[in-house]
Amino acid sequence: MPAPSDKGVRRWFITGASGGLGRHLTEHALRCGDRVTATVRRPAALDDLRAAYGDQLTVRILDLTRPADVDRVVAGALRSGPVDIVVNNAGYAVVGAAEEMTAEQIRDQIEVLLLAPMLITRAFLAPMREQGGGRIIQISSMGGQIGTPTHSSYHAGKWGLEGFTESVSREVSDFGIRLTLVEPGATRTGFASALRYTTASAPYRDNAVGRTRRYLEAADDSVFTGDPAKLAAAIYDTTRHPDPPLRLTLGSDTYEAVHTALTERLTALEAQKERAASVAFTH
């Protein structure tokens, strides 16, 4: 059995580390002296970090649309020693009307955003339980709390991740395992350039779908106000907290959007109080 990690050096497992928030978080953990297993689809993307940090960094190839690979990659990471922090970060978004999306686009979106994090989380639960605890960070989004046109499959994945994580957090808290959903807003990570678009159709060209599509196609970095380095630092700090929040809201845009959505839902719920009670048996 590998020796457990000492108090000063923690071991991380981070998916989607080749760019964006995943890379920033990988760099931050390495700078702090921790060890990282980073999963990517293109290992050359982290050549500079491997050169700078040597055996502090282990790079593994993982295609999240191939769930069978998860157990193999996780087992390889655990052979080097217990993993203290897991970060399910990898993701992308398909943009377009639900009617325009192909079955393959929907399937791939759900596999990457929901199924893969579920499988990775599940794979680490027993090792973390046996070692007496650990942290699992799920990179969600403001899109895990709100719904916008053109992102139905993305929202399905993120809302599903939120429900899964809230449930699991209650199952494993007795074992010292803490889960946190990170909900960033518009962050300058190159996410927009990686958007995948459906084939536009005439019925949706001039409604909310078409307007949102055109906005996203024309958007530049100025609309993404979140600093990924600051997000990475905030997430890292949370992993040091003995009682981390279930949800970590990062970005004033996220705060405002989620606050509005929750207020609207609460108002709608309160208006249905009498109707909700009306369906009970009368005695």
**200, 93, 229, 52: CA torsion to nearest 10:** -110
How far apart, in whole angstroms, are the C-alpha atoms of residue 171 and residue 45? 37
First to last CA, the chain: 62
Question: Looking at 18, 53, 153, 154, which residue is catalytic?
Answer: 154
How far apart, in whole angstroms, are the C-alpha atoms of residue 19 and residue 44? 12
Token pair recorded at residue 220: 């530049």
In the annotation, is 7 catalytic?
no
Closest CA to 232 of 24, 46, 36, 86: 24
How far apart, in whole angstroms, are the C-alpha atoms of residue 110 and residue 211? 25
In the annotation, is 230 catalytic?
no
How far apart, in whole angstroms, are the C-alpha atoms of residue 203 and residue 229? 41
Closest CA to 150 of 104, 194, 183, 196: 196
Question: Looking at 140, 141, 152, 153, which residue is catalytic?
Answer: 140
How far apart, in whole angstroms, are the C-alpha atoms of residue 68 and residue 38? 18
- Residues acting as catalytic residues: 140, 154, 158
